[in-house]
C-alpha cells in the first residue's frame, strides 16, 4: 500500500485554526483591537456594518507596518512579538501566537492599509482565501486600517449560524469593553451603521468605567489596592447594593489582559458574604499585576483562560483585599462573623 499521509495546504490549515480563533464577528473585533494596542496606538476606532456581518473595520494610529511585514502578518505563526519558547513565559503583549490575521484571512476578505512614520508611502493589501490578491503603494497616514469583509464567506454553514444583528452586536460590545477596560489611557470608539455606541476618551481607570457604564456607577466604586510579593491588585469593587442577579460587570484582568477565573470569582463572592444574598453577583473591576513567568496564558487560542502558579495564595489575597475595601465602606455586616 502506498503512503497516505500528506501535509495540508496553508489555506486549509488556516481555516482549521480559524475555527478556534474566529468564532464570530466579536472575535475579529477583539483580535484587531489587541493588535492596535500592541502597535502602540493612542486612538482606536472600531467601525461596523450590520454588527460586523457587513464589515468590521479597525483603524489605529500605531506604528504601522513595512510592505514586507504587511504580507508576513498574514502568514500563520508569523509574529513580531515573540521569537523563542522562552518568550512564552515572559509575555508582555496582547498577541503572541501569530495566528489571528492568518485565521481571519482564511475565512474573510481583508483589506489592509498601513504606514510607518518613516515611510513616504503606505501599503495597500487585499487578501482573501489566505492568498495575497493585490498589493500597491498608497498615500495614507501613519498607523493601520484593517477592513474585514464577508466573514465566513468561505464557510456557508458558519455564516448561516451567525445570530441576529442585535445578538452579534451584544457580543461585540462585550469584547469591546473588555479590551477598552484594559487600557484606559487609549481612546476607543465603536460605531455600528453610523451610530456611535461608545466614545471612550483616554482617561484614568475610574473615568473609563464611568464612560463605559454610566455616571451612576461613580459613587458605587470602592477602591481596591493591595501589593504583595506575588501579586499587585488594583481597581474597584462595587458597593453591595449594586449586586445583581445576572452576570455583567465582573472583570478580572491580569497584566492588561481580560481573564475569566471561576476560582478567583469565588474569593470575591466570599468577601461579600453577609452583605449580599447568595443569589446576587457583585460587580468588580480588578487588575492583577504579576510576574509573567508565574502565569500561563497559552491554554486556549482566545487567551481568556489563564493558569497561575499559586492560585490558593492569590485567592486569600483577593479575599482579604476585597474585604478590606468593603470594610472601609460604611456598611454593617449582617452575618459576617469571620474573625
Selected range binding Mg ion among 87-95, 129-137, 139-147, 295-303, rule: CB under 5 A: 87-95
Cα–Cα distance measured from residue 131 to residue 198, given in angstroms and rounded to the nearest whole number: 34
Determine, following the binding rule CB under 6 A, whether residue 31 of this chain makes contact with ligand ADP: yes
Residue choice 95, 235, 240, 282 for contact with ligand ADP (CB under 6 A): 95
Residue choice 79, 123, 192, 255 for contact with ligand ADP (CB under 6 A): 79
List of residues 6+ apart from 68 with CB closer than 8 A: none
Write a three-state SS string for 280-304. CECCEEEEEECCHHHEECCCCCCCC
Minimum CB separation of residue 339 from Mg ion in Å reads: 48
Cα–Cα distance measured from residue 64 to residue 92, given in angstroms and rounded to the nearest whole number: 19
Cα–Cα distance measured from residue 90 to residue 295, given in angstroms and rounded to the nearest whole number: 9
Site for Mg ion in 12-51 (CB under 5 A): 35
- Which H or E element spans position 218? none
In the bound state with ligand ADP, the residue whose beta carbon lies nearer, of 18 and 281, is 18
Determine, following the binding rule CB under 6 A, whether residue 18 of this chain makes contact with ligand ADP: no
Residues in binding contact with ligand ADP, number by CB under 6 A: 23
Determine, following the binding rule CB under 5 A, whether residue 100 of this chain makes contact with Mg ion: yes
Write a three-state SS string for 59-96. EECCCCCCHHHHHHCCCCCCCCCCCCHHHHHCCCCCCC
- CA 249 to chain CA mean position, Å: 15
Residue choice 80, 150, 207, 269 for contact with ligand ADP (CB under 6 A): 80
Angle at CA 259, nearest 5°, toward 255 and 265? 115
Residue choice 62, 67, 95, 282 for contact with Mg ion (CB under 5 A): 95
In the bound state with Mg ion, the residue whose beta carbon lies nearer, of 36 and 325, is 36
Residue choice 55, 96, 258, 285 for contact with ligand ADP (CB under 6 A): 96
Classify residue 284 as left (phi > 0), alpha (psi -120 to 50) or beta.
beta
- Mask for 183-222, x = binds ligand ADP (CB under 6 A): ----------------------------------------
List of residues 6+ apart from 137 with CB closer than 8 A: 67, 121, 122, 123, 124
Site for ligand ADP in 135-164 (CB under 6 A): 144
Determine, following the binding rule CB under 6 A, whether residue 98 of this chain makes contact with ligand ADP: yes
Question: Residues in the site for Mg ion, rule: CB under 5 A?
Answer: 35, 95, 100
Amino acid at each position: 500500500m502506498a503512503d497516505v499521509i500528506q501535509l495540508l495546504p496553508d489555506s486549509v490549515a488556516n481555516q482549521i485554526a480559524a475555527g478556534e480563533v474566529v468564532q464570530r464577528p466579536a472575535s475579529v473585533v477583539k483580535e484587531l483591537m489587541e493588535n492596535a494596542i500592541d502597535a502602540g496606538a493612542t486612538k482606536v476606532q472600531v467601525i461596523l456594518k450590520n454588527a460586523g456581518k457587513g464589515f468590521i473595520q479597525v483603524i489605529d494610529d500605531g506604528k504601522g507596518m513595512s510592505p514586507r511585514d504587511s504580507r508576513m502578518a498574514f502568514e500563520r505563526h508569523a509574529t513580531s512579538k515573540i521569537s523563542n519558547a522562552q518568550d512564552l513565559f515572559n509575555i508582555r503583549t496582547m498577541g503572541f501566537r501569530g495566528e489571528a490575521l492568518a485565521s481571519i484571512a482564511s475565512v474573510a476578505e481583508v483589506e489592509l492599509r498601513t504606514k510607518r512614520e518613516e515611510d513616504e508611502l503606505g501599503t495597500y493589501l487585499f487578501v482573501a482565501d489566505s492568498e495575497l490578491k493585490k498589493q500597491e503603494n498608497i498615500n495614507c497616514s501613519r498607523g493601520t486600517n484593517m477592513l474585514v469583509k464577508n466573514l465566513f464567506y468561505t464557510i456557508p454553514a458558519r455564516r448561516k449560524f451567525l445570530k441576529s444583528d442585535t445578538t452579534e452586536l451584544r457580543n461585540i460590545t462585550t469584547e469591546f469593553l473588555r479590551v477598552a477596560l484594559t487600557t484606559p489611557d487609549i481612546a476607543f470608539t465603536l460605531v455600528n451603521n453610523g451610530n456611535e455606541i461608545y466614545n471612550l476618551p483616554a482617561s484614568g481607570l475610574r473615568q473609563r468605567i464611568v464612560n463605559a457604564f454610566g455616571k451612576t456607577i461613580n459613587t458605587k466604586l470602592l477602591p481596591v489596592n493591595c501589593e504583595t510579593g506575588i501579586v499587585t491588585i488594583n481597581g474597584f469593587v462595587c458597593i453591595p447594593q449594586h449586586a445583581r442577579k445576572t452576570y455583567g460587570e465582573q472583570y478580572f484582568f491580569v497584566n492588561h489582559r481580560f481573564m475569566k477565573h471561576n476560582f478567583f470569582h469565588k474569593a470575591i463572592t466570599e468577601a461579600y458574604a453577609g452583605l449580599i444574598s447568595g443569589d446576587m453577583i457583585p460587580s468588580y473591576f480588578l487588575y492583577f499585576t504579576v510576574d509573567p513567568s508565574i502565569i500561563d496564558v497559552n491554554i486556549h487560542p482566545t487567551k481568556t483562560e489563564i493558569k497561575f502558579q499559586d492560585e490558593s495564595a492569590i485567592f486569600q489575597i483577593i479575599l482579604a483585599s476585597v474585604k478590606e475595601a468593603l470594610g472601609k465602606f460604611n456598611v454593617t455586616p449582617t452575618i459576617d462573623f469571620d474573625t
